[in-house]
Structure formats: structure tokens, C-alpha cells
Amino acid sequence: MNLSSRAAARADAGKPVRAGLIGAGKFGSMFLAQVPHIAGLSVTHIADLDPDRARAACRTVGWSAERIAATVFTDDGLDLVRQPLDVVIEATGAPEPGLNHARAALDAGRHVVMVNVEADVLAGPVLAEQARKAGLVYSMAYGDQPALVSELVDWARATGFEVTAAGKGTKYLPLYHHVTPDDVWTHYGLTPAEAAAAGMNPQMFNSFLDGTKSAIEMSAIANACLLDVPAGGLAFPPCGVDDLARILRPRSVGGQLERAGLAEVVSSLERDGRPVFRDLRWGVYVVMRAQNDYAAACFRQYGLPTDETGQYAAMYKPFHLIGMELSVSVLSAALRGEATGQTRAWRGDAVAVAKRDLKAGEILDGEGGYTVWGRACPAEVSAARQLLPIGLAHRVPVTRDLARGEVLGMADVALDESMTGVRLRRQMIAERTG
């Protein structure tokens, strides 16, 4: 617990950690709001497709005119990574640019903090290996749920407990899988005009609702924590914090998991739409099993929520502050040489499922759109069947008619084989299947 003191020492020495940010959207803006208040951290370069929008974001979050004038703004992320930086933050949310930025940053000798979970789930194992070979850090973004879950899992294992399940909470009903950007705001209690006035992107917010973002994030957690995703996709069981240890344990002992060692999302809504009591909509959790009766007794003595046997207990964090916590990853990479979560193996994937009947020639519109949603899938199944990752299901035509609910394969679309995402995914499949 010494990041702030180490950063302060760098400030005293006149050598702050130099960071460059690619993507000044909501996540990036939340990070930028905190930067002026962190001794020893400096954001010297910001890349965004619209540099004027990035400057406006800096003004909105309270940057002084002097700080903005001293910052280099560009519309070229690949140019940014070549600048004299310690850490590059990739926060575009777009898989293809994200992969290209991360690979170029590692080639240039920069640590990478990957806010872009979409890119990480598409080809994170390749990026992590590239970083290891170069002696650099490739890290998840602290504040985002995958990194916070990774921290909880690491804590549980470092203290000697068996991890039974780990994940996050969200608002979920089965009908959400087929929601489109046209009707997304009714499920958030907003009118389209209210959402537009707040600058909210309907496709992005729909990806949180239709299950795609959950599939991506649970796959990232599985890959970082050596867990698995359920064979049939995420189940989203309704569950409040008091019931985590009872519901998120294997069926063999009375729970709802097919087995131990899974990444899973809990819903803040009962299936009939009623709110779950003491829900975990904004938080993260880990469920662990005591290795002996003495430890189980300690669970009860110190107030942990347990199942009726006392053997399973839950630890959770009720909130996450997203970009406002991102500096933990940046400082950890630069000052400790450590990642706040990182892909360690290809265990989970997020694959494309047809939202409606699709005709040959139709163009897919990717995450949160009108045509497909993302479902969590074990990597061994995805690789063996060469299923289409949601990160490649954007601006590509389907090559045959598909029925609603059908899982797409890579052969069902006309992929551009020159794209980095396609090439790296082909590489991962070849390495997996031999």
C-alpha cells in the first residue's frame, strides 16, 4: 500500500510518471478528473479522433487552461505511443484500433493499461505474451470490474481459500438479449431526448443491457484468474449480497453453479422484474470455500455472509468508480512493474449470437447493436468450432441466412484477413487446436 508515497517521491524528484491517454470518452474523462490531484503522475499526451472534444473533456473535468496548454493533443494514437511516455492507456473501446495501439506501444517499450476489454478478450493472450517477452507490463484497468474481481480472487487465493466463483452484478432479464438501441432507454427509465441531452450513446449503453458487456467482462476475468465461464453461457441468477455464498456454489452442494471455479454475473432483478433485496448491481464479489472447519468457524465469528453449512463465504465490494480509480493501474505498472490483473490463459470467450433472423448479405453492427449480442463461451468450444468473437462482428457481411438465437461462426461472415484482430484470433485458434 505504498503507491501514493512512491508517486510522491517521483514528484519530489521532478520525475513524474508520464502517461498518454488514447480515447477521451467517459472512462478517460473520469481518469482525467483525478490526475491534477495525484502527485507524481502527469498526462502529457492525449489522443482522440476529435482533439477538440478531448480538450473540451479536460475543461469539463476541471483542468486549468495552463494544464491544457501544456498537454499535446492529437488524433493519431499510433503517434502518441512513440512519444516519451512510461505508460500508454488504451481507452477507445474499439477492438481493432485497441490491438494496434497496444502492440505498437509494447514495440515502443511502453507499459500498457488496457481499458479496452473488447480488445483484450479478442486477443489478450497474444498481447500479454508480447509484454512478457519485452519485460513490460500489460494490465487490466483498475476501477473496471475485471481488475477489481482479479484483486479479490488474488486476495482469496493468497489467504489460502479455494475460489468457487467470482464476478459482478448487473441489471438483467432474459428479454434484454434482444433489446436494440431503439428501445434501450425504456429499460433505463429515460426518454431518448433525456439520453441525448446527457450525451449517452444508445449502442454503448445497450451493450451493458443485452448481456454483451457481461460476457466480455466475465471472459476477461476467466482469462486473468484461471477460472472458466459456464458451458451454456452466463446464467445471471438473481442474487443479493446476503445470498452470494448460498447461490454461487456448486449444484452438488445445493447451489446453482454447474461446478466450482466459474466466473458468473448476478442479477439485481428477479425474473419477474422485482428488485433483488440488497442487490450488487454496481459491485463485484468472490465466493470462497474454507479448507477446514477452523477456517469455516472464523467466517461466522467475523461476520462474513456464509451458506448454511458455513463452509462457503462471500467477500464483495459494493461499488466501483471506473476511471476515477485508473491511476492505480498506471502507477502500479510504472512504479512496481506489476499489472492490476492480466490475461494468463485463454479460458473464456464472448461469441456473437443472432438477435433476429439474418439474411445473407446483411451487415453486422457489433456490440450493443441491432443484429447480434455477445454470449460467454468456453474458449475450448470457441476454438474448436471457430466461433465468431463479438469483437469481429462489426461491419462484416453474413454469408448465409441465420436464425435468431444461432451462434455465428467465423465462416458465416466475410472477414478481412488483413485485420490485426482476425490475424491474432486465427493465431490463437491454431495454437489451441494444433
Does residue 198 register a pLDDT over 80? no
Which grid cell sits at 142?
483498475
pLDDT score recorded for residue 1 = 66
Taking only the tens place, the pLDDT of each residue in 80-98 is 999 999 999 999 999 999 9
Mean per-residue pLDDT for 277-302? 97
Q: Are 112 and 105 in contact (CB under 8 A)?
A: yes
**Percent of residues, the chain, with pLDDT higher than 90:** 97
Q: According to DSSP H, which parts of 35-94 are helical?
A: 51-60, 65-69, 77-80
Tens-place pLDDT, residues 394-429 = 999 999 999 999 999 999 999 999 999 999 999 999
Q: Is the dihedral of CA 61, 67, 73, 77 positive or negative?
A: negative
Q: What is the mean pLDDT of the chain?
A: 97
Query: For residue 391, what are the contacts with CB-CB under 8 A and spacing of at least 6?
Result: 95, 118, 119, 121, 122, 350, 367, 421
How high is the pLDDT of residue 199?
72
Domains and CATH numbers, the chain: 3-143+327-336 (3.40.50.720), 146-172+211-319 (no CATH), 349-433 (3.90.1210.10)
Residues 180/365, Cβ–Cβ less than 8 Å: no
pLDDT tens for 1-42 read 699 999 999 999 999 999 999 999 999 999 999 999 999 999
DSSP E strand boundaries for 85-128: 87-90, 111-114
Task: Supply the pTM of this predicted model.
Answer: 0.97
Task: List the single range of 198-207, 307-316, 318-327 with lowest mean pLDDT.
Answer: 198-207
pLDDT tens for 243-260 read: 999 999 999 999 999 999
